Structure 1
Amino acid sequence: MLLLYVFIAVVLMNCIYFLLFSKFSFINAPETQTEATFPVSVIICAKNEAKNLRRNIPLWLKQQYPQFELILVNDASSDKTLKVMESFAEKDPRIKIVNVKNNEAFWGNKKYALTLGIKRAVHTRLLFTDADCEPATKHWIKIMVSHFSEEKQVVLGYGAYSELPGLLNALIRYETLMTAVQYFSYAIVGIPYMGVGRNLAYTSTIYYKNNGFMSHIQLPSGDDDLFVNEVASKNNTAVCFDAAAFTYSIPKKTWKDWIIQKRRHITTSGRYKPHHKFLLGTYFVSNLLFWILAVACLIMNSWIIVVALIGLRFIIQYLVIGYSAKKLKESSLIPFIPLLDLFLVFIQMFIFISNRTAKSTRWK
């Protein structure tokens, strides 16, 4: 019976988290703060991204926004990235190029390259994405920066991955969906803890006030989530989940590449604020225990009670995550939520364990 009581407590904990996530699932898209007309600096850091830049620079330049500069940062690329940037800059004066050469102290550090790009920016409002990210529409800039106000200096957007066939693609998109559900939900209830560099905006004012990335400059990752974790607050952070302001990028196509990417990303979570680590850690542990105890209880206890608890948990999960999936244009994932949830929790455990015994990888 003790095992059953523990399982009941775990299911209750899961449901409490899903109720928290419902703050995002069932909220209407927030109204824009202003009809944005102020100038904006769009900053993209690229390392060996010649192919993606050829495809995406025209899309960034076609944004329907009255005044913006496009700052392209070449982070010591060994391919034709710089030449591609220069070829577009010759034709459009809005493009500014920052050519970063290898620095012995900061070799391979994206934050160093981004810092130089931010210093080059003329405008106070900064909008970030990655070289492989395609804006969903021509209104990406307009919608994202419309959430800036005198008070709101950080805007969290959604960076999606393109839908492709296969389990790996579905799992990557599900993990991206769940990450977004969490950081949007926490921000909505006044506990912002991260953002993604694929779609993120903040002001140079808040950047310089907090000394940029200096507190974690030595880490290969964290230019997005660690920075937001340090500077974001209940009062200064806005969320933007308008589908017209999404960005889309091509996901990893092999399990090895994706796990390497996630290992690099997860190294930053240990630097989050204590209460953020507690909330995120408790959710992960309760999710892991749900699957383990569900099997154990089915074997050892009355199956009717256990099945009822599992069914309750799945119904609440389907409602909350399902509505979130629709909101973030990932409806095709809804039928497979339990399966993807099971895969993800154990892969995350594997990545966490592997990170404890091996060194993290650098920015490309």
Structure 2
Amino acid sequence: MQQQSHIRKAQSCATDAQQAAQEFHAGVAQPDMALVVFFCSSEYDLDVLADEMQRLFAGVQVVGCTTAGEIGPAGCREHSLTGASFAASHFSAVSGHLEHLQQFDADTGQAFAQGLLQELHALAPHSDTDNGFALLLVDGLSRREEPVTRTFQRALGKLPLIGGSAGDAMQFVKTHVYWQGRFCSDSAILVLLTSRLPLRIFKTQNFVTTEQRLVVTEADAPSRVVREINGLPASQEYARMLGIDARDLDSARFAAWPLVLTIGGTTYVRAIQKANPDGSLTFFCAIENGLVLRLAQGADLLQNLEQTFARIRAEIGPPLLVLGCDCMGRKLEIAQSPDKQRIDEVLLQHNTVGFNTYGEQFRGVHVNQTLVGVAIGPQALETNDA
């Protein structure tokens, strides 16, 4: 079926960076593009890819990031380049690049986000922020997602923020965001977008909370390392609750048995990245002394996904595009699931384009083990223009 002219999506599985960029460009190029968003494997030659993207999309606003896996028209893949373009006839977008996240402070972050909001209002003075969103792409190894997300959402007010932390194919060495022809680390990209089309942001996660309670009794918050849980070495106590030896802890078990924090009746996953040789655990989210966590068990991911998309269809119709940020922990879980093929089909059926992340952002909170995103519907909203 031919794509709607105002949104075009594509995915190249070419292993050569220059070829991948050319194939991607051929798939998404359209007249008068307001924005191009892309997600790419960190295994590409990023210098070559950056140069070719800048050449092909000269004069176009382009943002992107590296991933722990890509989602697009070719399915859930690794070592690919995927994304979408948005026509200026139906979308208005502004974007900015914030460097030096290690020195991030709230005043600078608030001024940055508010400046972009003023740019959007100047570009589209009649736009309605109720039908817009902010997209955050952030260095996934910066460990600064919590203050950045919280500050940006506070500055943006009613405009809801979603986003994802860039990955590097689960090497955990260096992640990148793309801005104005180059890939950068220790950086964040913020995009503000409004549309004539209906939008719905969403967050979904598939787990049930157990009664097993864990108290963080020793943690190094800046490094997201927990040394003790319930007064015992963290990996040993976590493994005991799973009924296994600490030596058998791995990424698949972390994905299947995440820990959750409850705030105001809402549960947020605090996913484990790795077990360390000294018996500590490194997390993907902020963690500190005194936090009370509960062990959670993964539920039916396919059913949860189908229910989520059913709600979206009921609200805005079959989506032209779902821009999704899906946790790498979910990717690991799906890889072991007998429903893997069907899950891929559901994502394809709903025109999902996105990436596997090292963390997700939803409104003002940095989370794990979730799928967050925005769905864009097919019908233009009515306006009151004279």
Per the normalisation by structure 2, the TM-score is: 0.26
The structure that is strand-richer by fraction is 2
* Structure with the greater alpha carbon radius of gyration: 1
Higher relative contact order (CA 8 A, sep 6+): 1
Per the normalisation by structure 1, the TM-score is: 0.27
